[in-house]
Chains A and B, each alone.
Chain A
């Protein structure tokens, strides 16, 4: 059963987690190939891919503020209606469009400055 409205924060978080898990699937496949490469193709490097950029266009309708208060939404979060059936029945001006660009970054290593 589809939920009538969902948290925008949950949707964006879900997208990021999906990307992370997609990358994990790729990394697991690379790890699985290491043994084969060591045995049969030692001079070749094991293939691995990075997700360099992901662009997402999200279409949704913001739920009413009265509903927001009633459902106890947290500050900074927006409840949205996202199901295709709901959006189909709305006027174009009632539909918001959000374009997000994800660019994964390498984890940084911070060094503690020397005291002196």
Chain B
């Protein structure tokens, strides 16, 4: 077996299973950081007029404003009997950016690791420990430590060319997760700040209809 690369010859099993686990945790943390960066870049803008806790930059919510025509019904009391008129009122809406764009937040739902592993060495070591529980009782524990060392399966195509592709296969399933509770509350507060402001008086589009005030 002289062709086995040294780095694969003696690979503890815990690292083969543990390394993808650590990688998934790092990937999840990176995804969370991407979400924070997205919020800072898209939904907020730095505000130098104040400083946040721990001397961090203060931020201000980024708003988007747009005009639209709103159909409004008004009761005209100048006539007898009072009538209802419909008016088109040019208005503007101020919306926090964060409340209208989906915030990307990916979560790794599950991960499957498939691999073939050849056990090449079994190291066994034994140790005995003695623990005093109280002045009258003693507990003897016998510990048994085993370490499996091995290598991934590899294939040799011919004498000149060695295929070092391992058979490790990792399937990661990531889903769009619900946003954290604190962030959801922030979005609720921002949504409450949405307001429609009339820009002008508006234009009457229907003639007054009489009496009952119903349209």
Chain B residues bordering chain A, tally (CB within 8 A): 38
Bound-state Cα–Cα, A63 to B36, Å: 59
Chain A residue nearest to B147 (CB atoms) is A14
Contacting B at CB under 8 A, from A16-62, are: 17-19, 21-26, 29-30, 33, 36-37, 39-45, 47-49, 51-52, 54
Binds A, one of B10-18, B73-81, B162-170, B198-206: B10-18
Distance from B17 Cβ to chain A, minimum over Cβ atoms (Å): 4
Contacts of A83 in B (CB 8 A): 119-120
Contacts of A52 in B (CB 8 A): 110
Bound-state Cα–Cα, A83 to B122, Å: 11
Binds B, one of A3-11, A65-73, A93-101, A104-112: A3-11
Q: Chain B: interface secondary structure?
A: helix
Contacts of A30 in B (CB 8 A): 25
Q: Which of B33, B110, B145 contacts A41 (CB 8 A)?
A: B33
Contacts of B182 in A (CB 8 A): 42-43
Contacts of A42 in B (CB 8 A): 182
Contacting A at CB under 8 A, from B191-215, are: none
Contacts of A33 in B (CB 8 A): 25, 29
Contacts of A14 in B (CB 8 A): 13, 122, 146-148
A84 at the B interface (CB under 8 A): yes
Closest 6 CB pairs of A and B: A43-B182, A25-B18, A47-B28, A22-B18, A14-B146, A22-B17
Which positions in B face A, CB cutoff 8 Å? 1, 12-15, 17-19, 21-22, 24-26, 28-29, 32-33, 35-36, 54, 108, 110-111, 118-122, 124, 144-148, 180-183
Known interface pairs A18-B17, A82-B122; 6 further A-B residue pairs with C-beta atoms within 8 A, sorted by A's residue number: A3-B121, A14-B13, A18-B147, A22-B14, A23-B21, A43-B181
Which positions in A face B, CB cutoff 8 Å? 2-3, 6-7, 10-11, 13-15, 17-19, 21-26, 29-30, 33, 36-37, 39-45, 47-49, 51-52, 54, 82-85
